[in-house]
Structure 1
Amino acid sequence: MIRRLEQYLKRRVFSFLRFLISSAQPTDLATRSFRSIIVIRQHNQLGDMLCVVPLLRGLRERYPEAHIALLTSPVNHEVMLNSPYVDRLINYDKREFLGGVSIKFVAFVKFVRKLRAEKFELAVVPSTVSVSATSDLLAYLSGAKYRIGAGEIDGEGNPSGVFFNCPVTLDWRESEHRHQALRNLDNAQVLHLNVADLSSQIELTEEESRGARAFVIDLRLQVGSFVVYHVGAGKPANRWPAERFAQLANRLSSDSKAGTLFTHGPMDDEPVRIVKSTLTVPYSVVDGKSIRQVAAILSLARLVVSNDTGIMHVAAAVGTPVLSLFGPTDPEQWAPIGAKHRYIVGKGGDIQSIQVEEVLTAAREMLR
């Protein structure tokens, strides 16, 4: 009952806003040239962010002289550093606006003033999984003359689409397996972007690569000849049993002579503990590293075997072949794009149904 009331009030508020800020919708965006563009993606998920890279690539190719800014969360800020498709990263940290009402308001107003000072001509808010009223509002507050975003997704109207004067109708009901990279591009369909390369990308510096190489050598691993395993995942349903990861590493290391390296994320204590107690081959663990340091280490691996989680996307973004394990999530939407990558999905969406032999066979083929 309370939720229904909240939804009703939300619809009424956005209906009122639609009346206040309604404006004519331009119809010739594809023929316009833009000098200053902002893309707003302030969610925390790494995979969601890296799936936006093809959209950024398309904007750079379409508008090579434009100044392109990306508004992102602190979590995703790191992976987008040095991107060749972005001129400026704008860090949107929600924590800066939490606290007392006055502090929150003053800090937010200062942020918006800085945003408007950039004088953006075009704002793009890609939405695929769900819409974000915050992102949609930020597009409006940016002061951009043209604002592109979801007006409707799969037949359901976006209440905060009121903030766009170039709303896009997105309908994937007859193409439910359409990859997230393509869905992000669908958000900018009115710009007629033509993108051939749908891969994600993390741009490493020479210093980061040297540091990773030194780290790997210190572990007595051979660059390009070790396998990385990521046993964690934020969602329990996305976690293949840790003991099976250990069994896989034991057998793969024995028959391929590949080194064994495990990554240890902030929430991976228990699966890593299980792995350590089950392994019978020499191994090392990457722990306490920044996401960029981990990315640099992954770039030196021969193969990464990972659950469906952020590290899967990071490994693919640095060009390392990835064997990803999927449960309830649709791999056709989320698995890394490219012939070098493979995925295995559990029967009925149950990752527990994936057997060690199945993963071992695929990994051996990828190591040949």
Structure 2
Amino acid sequence: MTYRNILIVKLSAIGDVIHALPVATALKKCFPQARITWVVEQPAYDILTNNPYIDEIILFEKTKFKSLAGFYRHAPGFINVLRERRFDLALDLQGLLKSAIISFLSGAPQRLVYCNAREYSDKIGKKVCGPNSDGHIVERYLDVVRELGCKIDEPEFIVNITEKETALSNAIAKQAGLDLAKPFVVLMPGTNWPNKCWPADKFAQLADKLFESDLIPVFAGGKADITAMKEIIRKSAVLPIDLIGKTSLKQLAFIIKNARAVVAGDTGPMHLAAALNTPVIALFGPTDPNRNGPYGTGHLVLTTGRFCQGCWRRRCPDGKDCLADIGVREVFEAVISLVRL
């Protein structure tokens, strides 16, 4: 069967949208005549721009639909935008009620939802559980494409950094005192779960050890990480380079692409680094690296030694600092082992 208009619904989070990037490439290669449209929320929008395998990006502005009045005001226009495209296939890779509703409202007669669908989203689309239903999330998403009879050799992560974004990234780096020609390591102190974060004092100690080894520590992340960064600066012997809250996603991608390695917890920028083939030292506690670890080869995963590792809880019920038992020396040696390969 062939398709003319295919809709991908993957709204958030940044890491999950990055995981789904190979779906667009695989669909376009399998159905080159098809127009690929992606519905996404604002935080991850930037990562999809200028992708040659995505013909259109539709922004879903969630805040407009939170109130009943907002829903009545904005829903008709959004539905019209979807229906005008005349989709014949919709892939719900979010697997939640809101994404299922978008898939349904698109009018696509064929709707597929990936294996881990929740909130009754599998009642709106056909649930696809392929051979990787217990494997990495990238492969789970691609199983939905395989259900269509498409052959996928090697997943492709397309992150297109334009000349303008490159120029802006160079300017930001220069202003921060970072010489991109010198060896540097990107450190990501923030995550969206409190218990995914490695302690600030350990990041400070790691930064000092990197300086001693002629590797420049560069801290990056979103504005939500500014408080953690202040603590890291306060506890560092040498003032590290601070890019926290100073880059867009594409600018961050440029910085990461030029780094020797990235140290991070289970967070979107960590998955961005893996997608860009920059070596990653990933620090895992409450989540499962078999499902959510850095995709591909050349990365290292360090996990907490606790019996409850992989509990999938946003906050520890016992008040434990989940990643605290991952030592600075352990992380430092992992960095050195990847940088010196």
CA displacement, residues 305-357 of structure 1 (integer Å, 9 cap, x when unaligned): 11211121122233322211111111121122222222211112242211111
How far is the alpha carbon of 1:157 from its aligned partner? 8.3
How far is the alpha carbon of 1:37 from its aligned partner? 0.6
How far is the alpha carbon of 1:224 from its aligned partner? 5.6
The residue number in structure 1 matching 2:234 is 277
1:366 aligns with 2:338: yes
For 1:360, the aligned partner's letter is F
Output the CA distance in 2 between the equivalents of 1:175 and 1:358.
32
Map 1:2-151 → 2, pairs under 5 A: 32-42=1-11, 44-101=12-69, 103-127=70-94, 131-150=95-114
SS at match of 1:77: helix
SS at match of 1:294: helix
What TM-score does the superposition give when structure 1 sets the normalisation length?
0.82
Greater CA radius of gyration, 1 or 2? 1
For 1:139, the aligned partner's letter is S
SS at match of 1:187: helix
The residue number in structure 1 matching 2:318 is none
Output the CA distance in 2 between the equivalents of 1:124 and 1:204.
26
For 2:252, the aligned partner's letter is V
1:333 aligns with 2:300: no
How many residues align? The count is: 324
| Cα 1:79–1:98 shift into 2, 3 Å | same
The residue number in structure 2 matching 1:356 is 328
Output the CA distance in 2 between the equivalents of 1:183 and 1:220.
38
Q: Is the 8 A contact 2:6 2:36 kept in 1?
A: yes
SS at match of 2:283: strand
1:159 aligns with 2:120: yes
Output the CA distance in 1 between the equivalents of 2:170 and 2:298.
22
1:179 aligns with 2:179: no
For 2:10, the aligned partner's letter is R
SS at match of 1:351: coil
Output the CA distance in 2 between the equivalents of 1:298 and 1:334.
19
How much is the aligned-residue C-alpha RMSD, in angstroms?
A: 2.2
1:231 aligns with 2:207: no
Q: Which moved more, 1:334-343 or 1:106-115?
A: 334-343
How far is the alpha carbon of 1:175 from its aligned partner? 6.1
Q: Is the 8 A contact 1:203 1:318 kept in 2?
A: no
Output the CA distance in 2 between the equivalents of 1:118 and 1:171.
29
Output the CA distance in 2 between the equivalents of 1:229 and 1:291.
15
CA displacement, residues 131-157 of structure 1 (integer Å, 9 cap, x when unaligned): 31121121121111221225x75xx98
Output the CA distance in 2 between the equivalents of 1:254 and 1:52.
38
What TM-score does the superposition give when structure 2 sets the normalisation length?
0.88
For 2:13, the aligned partner's letter is Q
> Identity over the aligned pairs, expressed in percent?
28
Q: Is the 8 A contact 1:41 1:125 kept in 2?
A: yes
| Cα 1:168–1:100 shift into 2, 3 Å | closer
1:343 aligns with 2:301: yes
CA displacement, residues 111-132 of structure 1 (integer Å, 9 cap, x when unaligned): 10121011111111124xxx31
SS at match of 1:232: coil
SS at match of 2:147: helix
Output the CA distance in 1 between the equivalents of 2:119 and 2:207.
46
Q: Is the 8 A contact 1:224 1:300 kept in 2?
A: no
| Cα 1:158–1:246 shift into 2, 3 Å | closer
Name stretches of at least 5 consecutive residues in structure 1 with no aligned partner: 1-31
For 1:299, the aligned partner's letter is K
Q: Is the 8 A contact 1:119 1:143 kept in 2?
A: yes
How far is the alpha carbon of 1:169 from its aligned partner? 4.3
